[in-house]
């Protein structure tokens, strides 16, 4: 399955004349499916979020909640009373061996050391095993027992406790692994962290770009740029004079980007298309 963005441009044309066009497809289509259940953490009952489970060897060391105050509603909360043990909200998702997966979301860290990690271990017939363990750490001295008496507030590093920040993890799945877990919590330190708007899905896609010139037009240059990026992922450079059709496939492109394709026609006229289109998928 492919999703297509088709943009038509042109001045007033004679009946039946074709305007210049940019066509963008991808495999897999963007946005890719979110494999997590209840990824925005809005569904639940009896004070517990659906699909998410908390695990630790010392439940007495933790306060866990499904609370208001998220980016747009509910969120996951973890508070560790001491550094005696770690604890994590977690969920497992199905995966395909040999492919890369992206795990992302948002956190708000009030204290301690946060850990988000994608992990799994699969035994092999010969007694060995294959494993994935990709981690994202973030820490702060806020809430430490030395503060504020021995550590002044302006010396405390780490993220603003009132702000939400993104995290991003890439994991390549070895054969024959077919499931992996995303765990979110605190790593052997007292503190507190919240999580919201979570995602697990394929990490890469292949973009297919096609530009067709209208009657009497030619294509001079084509660039592909992720929105908000500093440089393009592709620049055709000057094309041969009289080019009326341009096609290009770009493999290994991140699935969490929005791409802008700019085709420059002879005379300086530009055709711009974005893929996926705004509002076509989940917020990024």
DSSP, collapsed to helix, strand or coil, labels residue 266 as coil
Count how many Cα atoms sit within 13 Å of the Cα of residue 240 in the half-sphere of its side chain: 4
Q: Which residues pair with 154 in a beta bridge?
A: none
Average pLDDT over residues 54-59: 97
Question: How far, rounded to the nearest angstrom, does the alpha carbon of residue 33 sit from its chain's CA centroid?
Answer: 11
Between 277 and 129, the more confident residue is: 129
Residue 243 lies in a domain: yes
Q: Give the span between the Cα atoms of 236 and 137, in whole angstroms.
A: 39
| 155 & 219 share domain | no
Q: Answer with the one of 143, 178, 202 that is the final residue of a domain.
A: 202
| 198 & 268 share domain | no
What whole-number percentage of the chain has pLDDT above 70? 85
Give 12's pLDDT tier (boundaries 50, 70, 90).
very low
Residue 240 lies in a domain: yes
Whole-angstrom Cα Rg for the chain: 24
DSSP, collapsed to helix, strand or coil, labels residue 97 as coil
Question: How does DSSP classify residue 244?
Answer: -
Largest CA-CA distance found in the chain, in angstroms, rounded: 79
pLDDT in tens, 181-231: 999 999 999 999 999 999 999 999 999 999 999 999 999 999 999 998 999
| 157 & 75 share domain | yes
CA–CA distance from 207 to each of 210, 211, 233, 274 (Å)? Answer: 10, 13, 11, 12
CATH code, domain carrying 217 = 2.60.40
Q: What is the pLDDT of residue 77?
A: 98
| 224 & 196 share domain | no
| 175 & 86 share domain | yes
* pLDDT exceeds 80 at position 145: no
Q: Answer with the one of 140, 172, 202 that is the final residue of a domain.
A: 202
Q: Give the span between the Cα atoms of 123 and 131, in whole angstroms.
A: 9
Between 149 and 139, the more confident residue is: 139
Residue 162 lies in a domain: yes
* pLDDT exceeds 80 at position 14: no
| 52 & 169 share domain | yes
| 111 & 77 share domain | yes
What residues contact residue 117 under an 8 Å CB cut-off, 6+ apart? Answer: 133, 134, 135, 136, 169, 182, 183
Q: Answer with the one of 202, 226, 249 that is the final residue of a domain.
A: 202
| 54 & 24 share domain | no
State pTM to two decimals: 0.85
Q: Which domain holds residue 179?
A: 44-202
196 near 106, Cβ under 8 Å? yes
105 near 116, Cβ under 8 Å? yes
| 59 & 153 share domain | yes
CATH code, domain carrying 56 = 2.60.120.260
CA–CA distance from 191 to each of 16, 107, 243, 273 (Å)? Answer: 67, 13, 61, 45
Q: Give the span between the Cα atoms of 265 and 212, in whole angstroms.
A: 10
Q: What is the mean pLDDT of the chain?
A: 89
Backbone angles phi and psi of 273, in degrees to 5: -135, 140
**Lowest-confidence segment of 14-28, 178-192, 230-244, 256-270 by average pLDDT:** 14-28
Q: Give the span between the Cα atoms of 149 and 81, in whole angstroms.
A: 19
pLDDT in tens, 76-117: 999 999 999 999 999 999 999 999 999 999 999 999 999 999
| 24 & 123 share domain | no
Average pLDDT over residues 38-47: 96
Give 18's pLDDT tier (boundaries 50, 70, 90).
low
Residue 91 lies in a domain: yes
Number of domains in the chain: 2
| 72 & 190 share domain | yes
| 184 & 220 share domain | no
């Amino acid at each position: 399955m492919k999703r297509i963005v088709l943009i038509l441009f042109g001045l007033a044309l004679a009946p039946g004349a074709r305007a210049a066009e940019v066509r963008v497809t991808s495999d897999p289509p963007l946005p890719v499916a979110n494999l997590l259940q209840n990824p925005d953490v809005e569904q639940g009952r009896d004070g517990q979020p659906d699909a998410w489970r908390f695990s630790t060897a010392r439940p007495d060391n933790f306060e866990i909640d499904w609370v208001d105050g998220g980016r747009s509603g509910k969120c996951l909360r973890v508070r560790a009373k001491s550094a005696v043990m770690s604890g994590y909200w977690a969920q497992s998702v199905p995966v395909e061996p040999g492919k890369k997966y992206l795990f992302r979301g948002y956190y708000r860290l009030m204290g301690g050391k946060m850990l988000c990690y994608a992990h799994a271990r699969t035994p092999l017939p010969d007694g060995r095993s294959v494993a994935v363990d990709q981690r994202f750490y973030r820490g702060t001295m806020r809430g430490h027992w030395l503060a504020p008496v021995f550590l002044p507030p302006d010396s405390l590093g780490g993220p603003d406790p009132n702000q939400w920040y993104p995290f991003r993890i890439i994991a390549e799945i070895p054969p024959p692994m077919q499931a992996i877990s995303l765990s979110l919590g605190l790593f052997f330190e007292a503190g507190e962290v919240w999580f919201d708007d979570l995602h697990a899905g394929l990490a890469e896609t292949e973009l297919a770009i096609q530009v067709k010139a209208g009657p009497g037009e030619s294509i001079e240059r084509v660039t592909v740029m992720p929105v908000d990026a500093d440089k393009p992922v592709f620049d055709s450079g000057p094309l041969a004079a009289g080019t009326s059709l341009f096609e290009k496939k770009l493999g290994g492109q991140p699935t969490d980007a929005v791409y802008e394709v700019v085709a420059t026609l002879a005379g300086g006229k530009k055709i711009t298309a974005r893929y996926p289109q705004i509002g076509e998928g989940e917020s990024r």
